[in-house]
Amino acid sequence: MKVTIITVTYNSEKTLKDTLESVLKQTYINYEHIIIDGASKDSTMQIVKEYEAKYQGKLKYISEKDKGIYDAMNKGIKMATGDIIGILNSDDIYVNENVLEEIVRKLEETNDDGIYGDLIFMDAETMTKPQRIWKSSKGKVEYGWHPAHPTLYLKKEVYDKIGLFDLQFKICADYDFMIRMLQNKEIKIKYLEKYLIFMRNGGTSTAGIKGYIKNLQESHQVLVKNHIKFPYIVDFLRIIKTINQILLAEVKSSF
């Protein structure tokens, strides 16, 4: 099965090399890596072009103005030729070199529509200190549960059924997409109980208290749009989940 990895960039020169190296180190080689750049003003595209030869034909890219990160992701999904699609942010990396291989093997074994795993938010400077630990586990969307989106790898036909990211949401369109997906009883996704992604803390949805408040406000709108009952209670449960993730990281860091 061919895997499409989509990476959205905009002025990503400080972190992009780590992301590219993380992909190149993967032991599973049947993939394509699509870079969707939002007309960066720094050296992002120069870095992409420097790495092009290392990919040996597996790298595709465009650079043009867009309507935000989810518009760029939608472009990448439309360009994808893989059987499986995953999104790797331009400041994130795979936990190890076997991640893609494990994802494909699990999907081939189960014949499910998708797979998801666990994620660790790391400090932005060194990517060595856990800040939050997201154990995706299993749960009910009605109670605010959803997988960690950067760990979610779906067969291409899932997007044909569910549609793309809704551009009315600037921060939580991935949450909206996942609710729509989880509400569709025809789609089966499997939990892989392994850490798959190191996510750099400080992105749009994790940039301090202000970022978290904006995230919470927009995620509430997502709940209302998708007719989730008792959205304020779900908001509260999501806050508790985040606190638990931070506390878990502190416990892990102390050993």
- Domain at 3-253: CATH code: 3.90.550.10
CB atoms within 10 A of CB 134: 23
Mean pLDDT, rounded, for 208-217: 71
Q: What is the pTM of this model?
A: 0.88
pLDDT band at 212 (very low <50, low <70, confident <90, very high): low
Strand positions, DSSP E, 123-247: 130-134, 153-155, 189-200
Q: In this predicted model, what pLDDT tens digit does every residue of 20-64 receive, in sequence order?
A: 999 999 999 999 999 999 999 999 999 999 999 999 999 999 999
Is 87 or 230 the better-scoring residue by pLDDT? 87
Strand positions, DSSP E, 15-160: 31-37, 59-63, 84-87, 93-94, 114-122, 130-134, 153-155
pLDDT band at 112 (very low <50, low <70, confident <90, very high): very high
pLDDT at residue 87 tops 50: yes
pLDDT recorded at residue 19: 97
pLDDT at residue 98 tops 70: yes
Name which of 200, 193, 218 is nearest 150 in CA terms: 200
User: Contact 21/88 with Cβ under 8 angstroms?
Assistant: no
Tokens of 155: 């067969």
Considering 10-19, 217-226, 227-236, the range whose residues carry the highest mean pLDDT is 10-19
pLDDT recorded at residue 205: 46
Mean pLDDT of the chain: 90
120 vs 94: CA distance, rounded Å: 10
pLDDT band at 150 (very low <50, low <70, confident <90, very high): very high
